Amino acid sequence: MFQVFLVAFLLLQPETDARKSKIFGGETKSVEDYPYLVNIRRGGTFRCGGALISPSCVLTAAHCLEGRPDRVRDLSVHALQQCLNDAPAPEHVRWAWYAKVSPDYAPRRGLDADVAVIRLSRPFDISGKASLAKIDYNELPRHMNLTIMGWGMTEENTQDWNQCLQVAEIQKLPQGECIRRIGTPQHPVTGNMFCAIGENATDACPGDSGGPAMSDGRAIAGLVSWGYGCGRGYPGIYTRLSSPRISFWLKYFVADHCWG
Ligand SMILES: *[C@@H]1O[C@H](CO)[C@@H](O)[C@H](O)[C@H]1NC(C)=O
Ligand SMILES: *[C@@H]1O[C@H](CO)[C@@H](O)[C@H](O)[C@H]1NC(C)=O
């Protein structure tokens, strides 16, 4: 018998099927090729991925803030870290100042509108190696290739902090097919989501939450959000940044809080 668990792609959920807890089907890549990618830690412990969208702001999934968007001073953000155990250079670490989740975020409605912005207490020096990613606000085509990346864990129920960056290519599914394959009344696939899966069940997994799904033009089209297990052949669910509700909020928030 085959049991399926619905999991946010966040680490250390007790019900997580962690057997394949890393980007499933990916390969190790150099973080220098993804200079906008960060990992997010709470009290030093790895939680999630994210992306630098301005020198002072990180885009991530709302569920990465674990219901505590008002208490983020213990969150740090690490850029250009290949493996989670690598000693971070001080210039690649910043602390959170405040954060805001989408006003439409609905953790009890299938993690609808799963997006947040973290404002850092001090900007990254982007004249150095760290750099920024743009957000792709364009409506997504029915089919597209996306690149996902993250530092999910390597072994079931172990805390292996030496996971190194994994990258994989996946394909977006048309929305109707996504809804048919995995939508349920309890966990609807809404207009603030899209789903995608790669060849041979390539998928995001717990620990990859909040990381960007990059379009071919290398802009952020989605964020890793949730799935039914991972690597089991079910498509993973991503936050759709181009949805009107999300893009409206995000554009204003970023303009007001992230530049200057
Ligand atoms: C995705 O990538 C594959 C292989 O590079 C290519 O053949 C295909 O046309 C791409 N699909 C889209 C929708 O761009
Ligand atoms: C999928 O699996 C087949 C057979 O093992 C392999 O040849 C192919 O390269 C795999 N594709 C990806 C994207 O890993």
Give the domain ranges of the chain. Answer: 35-132+245-258, 134-242
CA of 133 to the centre of ligand 2 (A): 29
User: What pLDDT score does 16 carry?
Assistant: 40
Distance set, CA 59 to CA 65, 202, 212 (Å):
12, 23, 8
Topology match between the domains 35-132+245-258 and 134-242: yes
Q: Are 189 and 195 in contact (CB under 8 A)?
A: yes
Q: Is residue 26 pLDDT above 50, yes or no?
A: yes
Q: Which CATH superfamily is domain 134-242 in?
A: Trypsin-like serine proteases (2.40.10.10)
Q: Strand, coil or helix: what is 73? A: coil
User: What pLDDT score does 219 carry?
Assistant: 96
CB of 200 sitting under 6 A from ligand 2: yes
* Parallel, antiparallel or unpaired: strands 134-135 and 219-228: parallel
CB of 25 sitting under 6 A from ligand 2: yes
CB of 144 sitting under 6 A from ligand 1: yes
**Structure-token match 């792609």, residue found:** 9
Q: Is residue 2 pLDDT above 90, yes or no?
A: no
Start-to-end CA span in the chain (Å): 55
Give the residue with greater pLDDT, 5 vs 22: 22
User: What pLDDT score does 205 carry?
Assistant: 79
**What values do phi and psi take at 62, rounded to 5?**
-60, -35
Q: Token pair for residue 50?
A: 């994210």
User: What pLDDT score does 157 carry?
Assistant: 45
DSSP 83: B
What is the helix (H) or strand (E) element at residue 47, kind and residue range? strand 45-54
Provide mean pLDDT across the span 197-221: 89
CATH number of 35-132+245-258: 2.40.10.10
Provide mean pLDDT across the span 166-182: 95
- Stretch among 76-85, 106-115, 155-164, 247-256 having the lowest mean pLDDT: 155-164
Distance set, CA 184 to CA 110, 178, 188, 243 (Å):
9, 11, 5, 20
Distance set, CA 167 to CA 67, 188, 205 (Å):
28, 28, 12
User: What pLDDT score does 153 carry?
Assistant: 58
Catalytic residues: 63, 114, 209
Our mutation pick for probing the ligand 1 site, out of 142, 145, 147, counting the most ligand atoms within 8 A of Cβ, is 145
* Parallel, antiparallel or unpaired: strands 134-135 and 166-172: unpaired
Q: Is residue 253 pLDDT above 80, yes or no?
A: yes
Q: Is residue 154 pLDDT above 70, yes or no?
A: no
User: What pLDDT score does 217 carry?
Assistant: 74
Q: Token pair for residue 99?
A: 């954060």
**Structure-token match 């940044």, residue found:** 241
* CA R_g for the chain: 16
Closest Cα to atom 6, ligand 2: which residue?
200
pLDDT tens digit sequence for 33-43: 999 999 999 99
Band the pLDDT of 4: cuts 50, 70, 90.
very low
User: What pLDDT score does 160 carry?
Assistant: 56
Provide mean pLDDT across the span 16-32: 67
Q: Strand, coil or helix: what is 115? A: coil
Provide mean pLDDT across the span 228-253: 92
Q: How far apart are CA 31 and CA 26, in angstroms?
A: 14
Give every CB contact of residue 129 below 8 A, 6+ residues apart in sequence.
Answer: 32, 35, 79, 80
What ligand 2 atom has the least distance to the C-alpha of 199? 13
CB of 145 sitting under 6 A from ligand 1: yes
CA of 144 to the centre of ligand 1 (A): 7
User: What pLDDT score does 63 carry?
Assistant: 94
CA of 21 to the centre of ligand 2 (A): 19
Q: How far apart are CA 148 and CA 195, in angstroms?
A: 12
pTM of the model: 0.90
